[in-house]
Structures are given as structure tokens and as C-alpha cells.
Amino acid sequence: MTSARQPTNGHPTNATAAAWWRDAVIYECHLPSFRDGNGDGIGDLEGLTASLDYLASTLGIDAIWTGPFYRSPLLDQGFDVSDYYEVEPTFGSMATFDRLLSEAHRRGLRILVDYIPNHTSDAHPWFVESRSARASARRDWYVWRDPGPEGGVPNNWTSEAGGSVWEWDEQTGQYYLHSHLAEQPDLNLRCPEALEAMLDVLRFWLGRGADGVRIDVAHMLMKDPDFRDNPVAPSGNDNAYDLQHPDFGTQLHVHDRRHRDTHDVLARIRAVADEFPDRVTIAEIEAMSWEDWATYYGGGALDGMHLPFPFRLLETPWRADTLRSELEGLYSALPRGAWPITALGNHDRVRLASRLGAQQARVAAVLLLTIAATPCLLYGDELGMVDQPVPLERQRDYFARSTGGVTRDPTRTPMPWNDGANAGFSTAAEPDLWLPVAANAAARNVEAQLRDPESSLSLYRSLLRTRSSSPALRGGELAFVGETGDPDVLAYERRAGHHRVLVALNLTADPAHVRVPASGSVLVTTGRRTDSSLVGGEDLRLQADEAIVIDLETGATT
Ligand code: NOJ
Ligand code: CA
């Protein structure tokens, strides 16, 4: 395995090995949907390995977040683990994982795996033993409670998948806690043996050579030890982009997650990661205030997570004023010495191009790849993939099986590689595919978009190349342009030494005229410009839906 960063695509980098993740671009590859290597209809490690040249050279990303591939009944696409030390045969074997690692590292790509410490599958032997008897040696590894004072569930907590978090166990006469599906019992990480067992899982995968982990629901690891009721929400969950069961939004989730002891567990996780050189810890945490988000970095010593996800950005209305105030909130809360990660798409959310439309999804790509943060792209967003309705009988997401449940499958349809059968995703018969391929895959696929210089893929490639060769875009400071004179335009400058890059985003389908001096050369535009140099003046005219990246003339000689 590599410890020092290897050159990627010959692009220069100034990252030190220890902070390689500060200027990396991460790609979320959703394993069952990415590429099928063995023809059974389901994406796997072999298919991912076969796609490494696309990721490293054609696209030009630096690190892959794989999605879970551990032994699992696959009721929650692998976030329901029944053996953390085995590769799910649907996805491959330990040998195919090792091959993925060595082939990725040979190309200078890093591999980030999922770490799922909050819950297991109910088929995990730990849970089978825990539920076998009240006196079981592993009883305390999960959260068991007697019925509430009036009988029935111990408290009012609602699950992300709908209904109560409590499931009655007839045999032992107690309830167990499941923050998600009933088939995903929560571990009791207050039990030292359970916590140690989960830390050993982390040691195993980092020791095997994974370059880091994406930690599932890191904010949930500790709950109120007194199991107090959650307060009722003043209004329901009205976030149209967060695909949660309506039951979930009926209360304020203050006691079933984010207990202050969560930070102690995360510090333990971080300490294990620090046993290995140059590993990164990325925490999935829900949207919260910027002040609370910042606490996930740890104290002044930054001994918590390297990169807590800022989910607020995924939920921010697509307007210049809201985006700017959220980004200002993020940067002003960012602890000294810390660095952010960001994403605008995710396997749990509506696809970017469905949320914003095709043209503004291109503007979003420019934002994502030019702000001061480590970008994380969702597979297929580089093609402008949209949500694809999936008929009930083909759905895989068990979160939708409860009454009123919402399926996340439309976001997760197979990556379209070409215009062949099943869009090149798999050689299996269509009914055997993990999910149906998108209806527009014959036109919107990797091969077709590579031929089209105006495609979404060509835009992403160009942005990634530009970013990779620009010290200002990779690690430079970010300063917003005070007043653009147009409320629909967001503009900011990135600076590193004498390198200065201006980014201006027109967030509407009307042309815009802003008072921003911009002399220099156009590095990237989502519009159509015949002249790549901009000369002088106090004005910048933007086309409809245009996002532009300009290398500002500074007069400095290099
Ligand atoms: C967060 C994951 O992103 C989501 O897909 C999953 O269903 C839950 N955690 C439970 O593991
Ligand atoms: Ca397969």
C-alpha cells in the first residue's frame, strides 16, 4: 500500500502525505449500482476495479468511497452488516478487495471504506446471541429495555425508517432499539466490550490497507442514557430533499442521538485511525447548526473527525443569498487548522439534476469543485443523472417497505457506461439487474458524453483538471465578492500567493450583469464563449445559467 501520495494523472500536487485528503476529490461509488464484474446483475468489487482507469484518468478523482461490501442480508444496501470481517459474496471476496486496493494504489487512487458502528444486522451472530436470553453474555451489546410504565414501548422515539425505534422480542420479553429498520438493531456502545469489538473492526480494515473510513451516522453513536422522550416537533419535517419517513419529522430528535458522549466515542475511533499513517476519518452527521457541526472536529486539538460532512449545504435553497450565508456560517465556524469536506449529492437524497434541473446542476458542479473544501461527488452526477422512478416490485430499499416509507432507489439506479445492453452496467438479463437502468441511459452515458465537448462529463473533466493544476483552487483562501450588484449571482475569489481565481455563478436562467472587475483568462465556463480572454472593465456579463472560472491577471511574474 502507498503511504506517500503518488502522482495522479501526472497532475502536480503540493499535498503532504499526512494531509492528502485536503486537496483530494472524493468519488462516492455506490457499489451495487456502479459496475457488475461477474454478470449477476449487481455491481461489485471486480466491476469497480475494472472502472479504475475511468476514475483515475478519464475523470481524474483521487479517492473512492466504496459503499458497504461486508456480509449482509442487503435490506439497506449493505448498511445492515452480519459479518464485518467477511466480504459479502454478492460483492466479491477478500481477494477481490485486496486486488481493488492494489490496483487503486498503483494508479494513485485511495480507497475509503464504510465503517458502520451504530448498528448491525439482526442476522449478526452478536445480536443472535444477545437476543437468545436475558442472561446471554452479549445481552448488553445491544440496547434492551422493559416496556414503559403503562406497558408498550419504552419511549416515543421514532425511527428514520418509520414507526417506533423499539421492537418487541417475544422470547425474552423486552424491547430492543433500532434507529433504522427493525432488522438493524443498534449496538450499545456504552458497553466497553461492544465498543472494543467495533474498534477492532476499524483496525482490521485500516490494517488491510484502506486509506480511510466514512463513518455511518456518526452523530447517533450515543443516546440519552435515561431514554427520555423526544419533544414533539412544532411542525413536521418539511425538507423536500431529505428522504425520510414522515414519522421521523414529528419530533425533535434531541435524546435519541447526539448525546455529548458521542464525542468520546468519536475520539476513540480517531485514536484507532491514528494508529495507522495518513488515514482519514469522514463522519456522516445530519444537518445541524454550524456551531454544532464544528464540534465534530474534536476540541482545540482537533482530535475528533478529520472531515465531518456539512449536510446543511445539501438542504440549502439554491439561491445566491442562502448559499452565501450558509457558506459564511461554515467558514466562520470552522475550527482553526481544520478543513471542510462538502457534497451536493448523496445516495440518500434526491439527485442534484432532479433538484436543480440540468443547467443549474452544471452550475452546482462549478460550485462544488471550486469552493475551499474537499469535494465529494456522487457517482453519475458527473453525467447529470436524474432520479428514475423504480416500480415497487423492483425496489431494493427496505426503508420504503413500511407504511408511508420513502424509497431512495430512484437516486441509486445503475451507472450508464455506454449505449449497449443495460447501458454497459451488466451482462445479466434485465430483470436480474440490481435496479433498472435509467430510461435515458442510451443517450446519457459515459461514452456518449466523452464524445460531446459540451456534455456534463466534459465539464466535470475540465473542472477536475483545472482544479488539480491550480494552487488557488485546491488550497487557497476563499473570499466572497462583497456586492455583485445582482442578487442572483454568487461570486468569490480563491487566492494562493499571487494566484487568484474568480468564480461567478449565475443561479438563474436569465443573463446577468455584475459589477465585478475580471481581467484574465477563462479557465472553465458552463456557457458558450468564443473568446477565452476577458479584458479589463468593471463589469462581467454572464450568460443564462453560466458559471465561470477566471484566472485573474495579477501582474505578477512567475
Ligand atoms: C446512513 C446511510 O447513508 C443510509 O443509506 C443508511 O440507510 C443509514 N445510514 C443506516 O445505516
Ligand atoms: Ca456482480
**Dihedral sign for Cα atoms in the order 393, 394, 398, 404:** negative
Q: DSSP string spanning 112-125?
A: EEEE--SB--TTSH
Task: Please tell me the residue having the least CA distance from ligand 1 atom 6.
Answer: 79
Residue 524, H or E segment: strand 520-525
User: Which entry of 193, 200, 275, 539 is annotated as an active-site residue?
Assistant: 275
Question: Atom 10, ligand 1: which residue's CA is nearest?
Answer: 79
Known catalytic membership, residue 538? no
The pLDDT of residue 8: 30
Q: How far is the CA of 127 from the centre of ligand 1 (A)?
A: 19
Distance of alpha carbon 69 from alpha carbon 205, whole angstroms: 12
Give the C-alpha separation, 194 to 525, whole Å: 52
Indicate which residue's Cα is closest to atom 11 of ligand 1: 79
Q: Annotated catalytic residue: which of 76, 216, 397, 486? A: 216
Three-state DSSP at 176 gives: strand
- Angstrom distance (rounded) from CA 127 to CA 80: 12
Closest ligand to C-alpha of residue 216 is: 1
Grid cell listed for 497: 500567493
Q: From ligand 2's centre to the CA of 388, what distance in Å?
A: 21
Would you say the CB of residue 216 lies under 6 angstroms from ligand 1?
yes
- Please list the residues that pair with 345 across neighbouring strands: none
How many residues can be counted in the chain?
A: 558
Which ligand 1 atom is the nearest neighbour of the CA of 348? 5
> What pLDDT, on the 0 to 100 scale, is given for residue 238?
62
- Mean pLDDT of residues grouped by 10 in the chain (558 residues)? 30 53 96 98 98 98 98 97 98 98 98 98 98 98 96 95 96 98 98 98 98 98 98 73 81 95 98 97 96 95 96 94 96 96 96 97 98 98 97 94 88 98 98 97 96 98 97 96 89 95 97 89 94 80 96 70
Ligand 1, from 29, 33, 75, 79: best to mutate by most atoms within 8 Å of Cβ?
Answer: 79
Residue at 555: amino acid letter: G
532/517 Cα distance (integer angstroms): 16
- For the entire predicted model, the pTM comes to 0.95
CA dihedral 375, 496, 525, 348 (to 10 degrees): 10
One-character DSSP codes across 193-257: HHHHHHHHHHHHHHHHT--EEEETTGGGS---TT-PPPPBPSS----TTB---GGGGGB--SSSS
Residue 216 annotated in active site: yes
Q: Is 183 in the pocket of ligand 1 (CB under 6 A)?
A: no
Ligand 1 centroid, distance to 379 Cα (angstroms):
17
Nearest CA, atom 4, ligand 1: 348
Among 80, 24, 432, 492, CA closest to 212: 24
Ligand 1 centroid to residue 116 C-alpha, Å: 9
Cβ–ligand 1 distance for 397 under 6 Å, the answer: no
CA of 284 to the centre of ligand 1 (A): 9
Strand 341-343 vs strand 374-378: parallel, antiparallel, or unpaired? Answer: parallel
* Mutation to probe ligand 1, out of 31, 217, 411 (largest number of atoms < 8 A from CB): 217
Distance, in Å, from the CA atom of 158 to the CA atom of 250, rounded to the nearest integer, reads: 8
**79 touches ligand 1 (CB under 6 Å):** yes
Which pLDDT score, from 0 to 100, does residue 538 have? 79
Protein residue whose Cα sits closest to atom 8 of ligand 1: 79
Cell of 186: 443498534
Question: Residue 283 belongs to what H/E stretch?
Answer: strand 280-283
Q: Is the CB of 65 under 6 A from ligand 1?
A: no
